[in-house]
């Protein structure tokens, strides 16, 4: 009888041990699922949740900034993907400085919002760049188009998303002309449209005049 009691006690203890192991495994799995691991070394710049918050799967919790080399995300038209991807020495411009970069992601999908292909470039270390700064890829392409160079300040937006410039006609009256912008940078634009060689274009101060207004051009 004593042996039977001991066997029964051993069975109870084994059952308890199995229950404890199952509870331990469940806790370990719960801990693994509640642990967030960064894919790279960096610093936390922003927290989206606090301790104790209940979050759904896929909800962002942290923004981690890499303390390694910075990356630049560049969007380009799909038709230029092959030419841009083949650049031997890509140059990325941030502010007034230009840096050599290396393409690390050639892009394989068109963004449904911007309709551009996203490329990722890695920049040299220790540049002192900040997250979120605007970056531009230097890329030259020749177009054989007839047109005119005008200052950016000479452009004004018109109806239905078109661009206009103001010209001074032979009667010294302001006229609005619809044009198409073929290329533009920070200072000037190359345009074509309802303007002709020799016409006088208002270069700046468009907010102070209106079409039909009589003006006195300064010499």
Instruction: Give the end of a domain, one of 94, 111, 137.
Output: 137
Domain range spanning residue 174?
148-208
Please tell me whether residues 104 and 76 are part of one structural domain: yes
Q: Are residues 112 and 131 in the same domain?
A: yes
**pLDDT over 70 percentage in the chain:** 99
Give the chain's domain count: 4
Residues 149, 189: contact at Cβ < 8 Å?
Answer: yes
Tokens describing residue 94 = 């941030």
Q: Does one domain contain both 63 and 52?
A: yes
60/75 same-domain check: no
Q: 213 in a domain, yes or no? A: no
User: What integer pLDDT is reported at residue 184 of this predicted model?
Assistant: 85
Largest pairwise CA distance in the chain: 125
Q: Compare 8 and 134 and report the one with higher pLDDT.
A: 134
pLDDT in tens, 100-136: 999 998 888 888 888 889 999 988 887 778 888 899 9
Strands (E), 5-106: 42-47, 62-66, 71-76, 91-94, 97-100, 102-105
Q: Which of 98, 78, 100, 79 is nearest to 88 (CA)?
A: 100
pLDDT band at 153 (very low <50, low <70, confident <90, very high): very high
> For tokens 């801990």, what's the residue?
31
What is the pLDDT at residue 42? 80
Specify whether 76 is located in the same domain as 127. yes
The reply to whether 122 falls in a domain is yes
Which pTM does this prediction carry? 0.50
Structure tokens at 59: 């909800």
Backbone angles phi, psi at 201, to 5 degrees: -105, 135
- What integer pLDDT is reported at residue 219 of this predicted model? 64
In this structure, the answer to whether residues 49 and 12 fall within a common structural domain is no
Q: How far is 10 from 22, CA to CA, in rounded Å?
A: 18
Q: Are residues 44 and 74 in the same domain?
A: no
Residue range 143-158: average pLDDT?
90
Token pair recorded at residue 33? 């699922």
């Amino acid at each position: 009888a004593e042996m039977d009691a001991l066997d029964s006690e051993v069975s109870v203890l084994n059952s308890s041990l199995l229950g404890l192991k199952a509870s331990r495994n469940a806790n370990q799995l719960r801990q693994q699922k509640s642990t967030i691991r960064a894919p790279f070394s960096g610093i936390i710049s922003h927290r989206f949740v606090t301790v104790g918050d209940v979050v759904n799967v896929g909800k962002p919790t942290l923004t981690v900034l890499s303390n390694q080399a910075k990356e630049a995300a560049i969007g380009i038209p799909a038709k230029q993907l092959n030419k841009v991807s083949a650049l031997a020495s890509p140059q990325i411009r941030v502010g007034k400085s230009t840096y050599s970069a290396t393409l690390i992601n050639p892009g394989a999908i068109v963004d449904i919002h911007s309709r551009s292909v996203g490329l990722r470039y890695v920049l040299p270390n220790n540049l002192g760049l900040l997250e979120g700064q605007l970056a531009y890829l230097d890329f030259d392409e020749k177009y054989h188009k007839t047109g005119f160079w005008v200052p950016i300040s000479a452009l004004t937006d018109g109806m239905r998303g078109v661009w206009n410039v103001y010209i001074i006609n032979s009667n010294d009256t302001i006229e609005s002309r619809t044009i198409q912008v073929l290329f533009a940078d920070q200072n000037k634009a190359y345009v074509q449209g309802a303007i002709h060689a020799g016409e006088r274009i208002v270069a700046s101060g468009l907010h102070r005049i209106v079409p039909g207004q009589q003006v006195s051009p300064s010499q």
